[in-house]
Amino acid sequence: MAASHHVIVDKARKRISIKDNLLRELLAELGATFLLVFLGLCNVAQFVLTQHKVNSWVSVQLGWGLIITFCIYTAARTSGAHMNPAISFMIYTFGQLTLKKFLLYSLMQLIGAFFGSAAMYAYYYPLFDYFDGGNRTVSGENTSSAMVFCSYPGAHMKDAIFGPFVDQFVGTAALAFMICVICDDRNEIPKYLRPLLIGLSVVMIGTCFAVNLGYPWIIQINPARDLGPRLFSFFVYGSEVFTFSAYLYPSRHPSTSSLQ
């Protein structure tokens, strides 16, 4: 009986297994980015929606680092676990990714981020209502729940143009540089340690640069992680998520700095 059971399971596994390598890679990017955004936004939601009583600013940064580490482990062997169009673009410029794959990876990352934010909203919906009484607003430091989804500039950056561009350029360039250093075989860093070091580099970047556009707890160095949740939050908060101050800069310019 046991032998026949294993035969049936093996046959079923072969039938449902995905044999197309590209499809497997795309699903890996979608799944890893979904998990990244779902866990990451839950991390932020606990901080924002409890008015900083659960989690602290530092623990949010550490949480993002751990989340990124384990999400990389989930897809690294299948797709490379980019989870970030800026990183996929960098790898494309290195000649290690075709234009077709870059575009498809970016699309899957955006879709994964969109549904990851939807899952977080469904999970914490009662807490959103408890925080704002059902009055969903974008503006207001102590009354806005929109900042759980994506970045908005701090008061000192409001209506600025050049500052947000520099902020995103520097943060994403730092991430891209650290990934290059960590993944350079000449540095002889064991592959099993690389996801952890990349996660720690995100913690470092967050503790250095989060106060401008990630105000005050996240640093936007991932276009999909910002734009996907922003698109979802449009259906919750309305068009102000696209018009509040200089929103375009965190969503667009990280890909530019990954060229450096």
Cα distance between residue 142 and residue 190, in whole Å: 44
pLDDT of residue 4: 63
Cis? peptide before 216, omega within 30° of 0: yes
- The 10s digit of each residue's pLDDT in 129-140 is 999 888 888 876
Torsion angle, CA of 211/213/219/221, rounded to 10 degrees? -150
Percentage of the chain lying above the pLDDT 90 cut: 53
Positions of the chain with pLDDT lower than 70, given as ranges: 1-7, 9, 11-12, 140-142, 154-155, 157-163, 213-219, 245-260
Half-sphere exposure of residue 41, counting CA atoms within 13 Å on the CB side? Answer: 35
Are the beta carbons of 144 and 48 closer than 8 angstroms? no
- Global pTM value: 0.87
Are the beta carbons of 34 and 113 closer than 8 angstroms? yes
Exposed, middle or buried, 129 (CB in 10 Å: 0-12/13-18/19+)?
middle
Cα distance between residue 88 and residue 45, in whole Å: 28
Paired tokens of 149: 């989804």
Distances in whole angstroms, Cα of residue 166 to Cα of each of 20, 78, 156, 169, 249: 41, 33, 14, 5, 9
